[in-house]
Amino acid sequence: MPKRHLARPWNQPRKKTELPEYTLTRARKQLTELLKSQEISIGLDEVRDVEANIAADLAIPLFRIAKQLGKNPQELAENLANRINLDNTLFEQIQPVHGYLNFKFNPARFSRSVIADYLRDPESYGRSLAGNGRTIVIDYSSPNIAKPFSIGHLRSTIIGQALHNILTWLGYRIIGDNHLGDWGTQFGKLLCAYELWGNDKELARDSTGYLLKLYVRFHDEAKTKPELENKAREWFKKLETGDKQAHDLWKRAVQLSTAEFQHIYELLGIKFDESLGESFYANRLKELINRALEKGVACREKPLKPSGTDEKVILIPLAEYGIDTPLILEKSDGTSLYATREIATAEYRIHTWNPEKILYVVGKEQELYFKQMNAALKLLGHNTPCVHVSFGLIRLPQGRMSTREGRVILLEDVINEAIRRAKKIVADRKIPEPEKDKVARIVGIGAIKYADLSQSRTREVVFDWDKMLALDGDSAPYLQYAHTRCRSILKKADNEKNSDFDPAILARPEEFTLLCQIARFPDAIVDAAATYEPHRIANRLYKLARDFSAFYNKVPVLHAETQKLRRARLLLVQMTGTTIRLGLKLLGIEVPDQM
């Protein structure tokens, strides 16, 4: 019999050196063993979670097996249901339904198992050692220097931070790298604009705001004066070749911008392990290009639209990977491209940290580029996967955000507006005045993050104040309030001892439903990590908070019928509050002490 079935008192913690295994994982393993005893082999992923108005907790579809055996799925299900013995498992009932085997938990055994999981280490509930210290690099946020931090940067920033938190929780060594856009032809445009129209006093007064105005003006002027584009290319070439005037102005723009970015990161609670901008790799580009040419990976060809007879670019053909568009490494004027710097960055990360993969949290419109980059890296001898964690961009009602056109909503303005609205909510609450600003900040910023992280990252978001800052329903404040309600109940109980009872007494449907939601929390973390979709955690937390509300309204806790039942329900309240708090922490969302 597997070790997990050996008798152990439900309230006796496991040793911390053991690999955590949670109730639903044990349940799935039990079901695979039960079918194995009937000479049927299934994977753990074939055991389905059941939630939607079906009288079952887990289910196994038998269509694949029935096809292999040449049998009718329902007849096979009926035959297995009659032969399977559920003794010494977490289950008490099996039903054959439309080609599925539906299983129901034994409430007493299930309750003991879930509570034992929690008591093993409450502050690490849902944690695991699955990553085993393996390294993953995550590239996220990566704003462009000399441009304000707009709402368009929000998704990469908070999705990336959430993935950093989640994968760290699962035992991976994560390197979060803020790959600042501090190099490239846009700086040639900016330097050109500053030479023509720049004002030092304006730059000192509103650094990124003023630089944005210059950038927008450049593109407006270039529509009727195309020669400006050539001047911009000349300025970027000066920057790449070390011209002092170009370098000094560039350095000033970098310093002013990074100071503003840091302010936003502190507001949002965003942290990085590295912040290596594109410029860090500038001295690696020539060696990379020469190596690609020497290996025969790259070649010199005339550009598609040459402006001179002798012009040639250096590119990597990718036809052998089914990609028609080659990847250009060097333009005809000898300057580098974003792709060149990205390949140099990937090589540095591979050589420095030896990651098993590199995640790039970047908008989905870059899909072709990442296919090109992966193919180019393979041709250069690198097999580390570069995974494009795409997301839908945030759009204004009149179209996609564009720095060139100037339609930009600044992220700091969004944060301030969220906090302002949150202040209205807490204004009449019984909270000490010195605490109200702190609570408003936590609630407002949490609302912004949750509005994004609670939906699939692949969906495009149309920017909407009301939707982003809604402070009721499926929102961070709703979850935060559920957590503070749990804290309030426990405070009234004066932290009463709550382990002297048999979990089997938690027999009401509302109690069992809460335990099921808590049991599914570790699965939600694993699923979020496997799919790079933080919304799986957010959705689970919302269901938990919703079911806690039903429990709160129907089930007495402090005035339970017996002392042992009171203690059992207090522990269930504690488990609910802790799970909500830990889940929100993984999403990068704080919880206030009171609301």
Cα three-residue angle 280-284-285, rounded to 5 degrees? 105
Report which secondary-structure segment, H or E, holds 442: helix 433-453
The domain in which residue 14 lies consists of 3-105
Question: Do 369 and 416 share a domain, yes or no?
Answer: no
Please report, as a single letter, which amino acid is at residue 542: Y
**Contacts with 275 (C-beta within 8 Å, 6 or more apart), sequence order:** 177, 178, 180, 258
First to last CA, the chain: 49
> Do 356 and 471 share a domain, yes or no?
no
What's the pLDDT score for residue 397? Answer: 59
346 vs 395, which has greater pLDDT?
Answer: 346
Q: Are 396 and 419 members of one domain? A: no
Q: Is the pLDDT of residue 13 over 80?
A: no
pLDDT 10s digits, 328-363: 999 888 888 899 999 999 999 999 999 999 999 999
Q: Are residues 95 and 160 in the same domain?
A: no
What is the pLDDT, as a whole number, of residue 309?
55
The confidence score (pLDDT) of residue 4 equals 32
Asked if residue 337 is part of any domain, the answer here is no
Last-in-domain residue among 105, 122, 155: 105
What's phi and psi for 137, nearest 5 deg? -95, 135
pLDDT value of residue 2:
31
- Which residues 6+ apart lie within 8 Å of 554 measured at CB? 510
Q: Both tokens of residue 290?
A: 């020469």
* Residue 315 domain-assigned (yes or no): no
User: If we measure between CA atoms, which residue out of 560, 584, 590 comes closest to residue 572?
Assistant: 560
C-alpha–C-alpha distance, residues 409 and 411, integer Å: 6
| pLDDT of 461 | 73
Mean pLDDT over each residue of the chain, to the nearest integer: 90
Residues contacting residue 44 through CB under 8 Å, at least 6 positions apart: 25, 28, 29, 32
User: Is residue 484, in this structure, part of any structural domain at all?
Assistant: yes
Is a pLDDT exceeding 90 seen at residue 294? yes
Say if strands 299-301 and 313-316 run parallel, antiparallel, or are unpaired.
antiparallel
Taking only the tens place, the pLDDT of each residue in 237-271 is 899 888 999 999 999 989 999 999 999 999 999 99
Residue 122 lies in a domain: no
Question: Do 369 and 226 fall within a single domain?
Answer: yes
Percent of the chain with pLDDT over 90: 73
Q: 399-400 and 135-139 as β-strands: parallel, antiparallel, unpaired?
A: unpaired
Q: How confident is the model at residue 6 (pLDDT cuts 50, 70, 90)?
A: very low
Please report the pLDDT score of residue 5 as a whole number.
33
Residues 368 and 496 in one domain: no
List, for residues 296-330, the tens digit of each pLDDT value: 999 998 866 655 556 789 999 999 999 999 999 99
Among 81-95, 141-155, 229-243, 469-483, which stretch is predicted with the lowest mean pLDDT?
469-483
Q: State mean pLDDT over 518-533.
A: 98
Residue 165 scores a pLDDT above 80:
yes
pLDDT of residue 468: 65
> Would you say residue 10 has pLDDT above 90?
no
Say if residues 89 and 34 touch (Cβ distance below 8 Å): yes
Residue 456 has pLDDT above 80, yes or no: yes
Q: For position 565, what pLDDT does the model report?
A: 95
The verdict on 88 and 201 lying in the same domain is no
> What's 382's domain CATH number?
3.40.50.620
Q: Would 394 be classed as within a structural domain?
A: yes
Encode pLDDT of 400-412 as tens digits.
544 444 556 788 8
Is there a single domain that holds both residue 380 and residue 417? no
Which of the 8 DSSP states describes residue 459? S
Q: What is the pLDDT of residue 184?
A: 83
Mean pLDDT confidence for 113-134:
96
Residues 422 and 466 in one domain: yes
- CATH number at 502 reads 1.10.730.10
> Which tokens belong to 54?
């079906």
Q: What pLDDT is stored for residue 552 in this prediction?
A: 96
Q: Is residue 322 part of a domain?
A: no
Write out pLDDT tens, residues 180-238: 999 888 899 999 999 999 998 998 888 888 998 998 899 999 999 999 999 999 999 89
Residue 538 lies in a domain: yes
Q: In this predicted structure, what is the pLDDT of residue 16?
A: 45
> Which residue, of 85, 105, 125, is where some domain finishes?
105
Confidence at 25, pLDDT banded by 50, 70, 90: very high
Last residue of a domain, one of 376, 400, 424: 400
Q: Are residues 365 and 418 in the same domain?
A: no
pTM of the predicted structure, to 2 decimals: 0.90
- Residue 320 belongs to some domain of the structure: no
Q: Within 13 Å, how many C-alpha atoms sit on residue 496's CB side?
A: 20
Q: What is the pLDDT of residue 500?
A: 78
Q: Count of domains in the chain? A: 3
Q: Output the six-digit token pair for 465.
A: 């104040």
pLDDT of the residue at 394:
78
pLDDT at 12: 45
192, 228: one domain: yes
Do residues 486 and 566 both lie within one domain?
A: yes
> Can you give the CATH number for the domain in which 54 is found?
3.30.1360.70
Task: Return the percentage of the chain with pLDDT > 70, whole number.
Answer: 91
According to DSSP, the β-strands at 394-396 and 399-400 are antiparallel
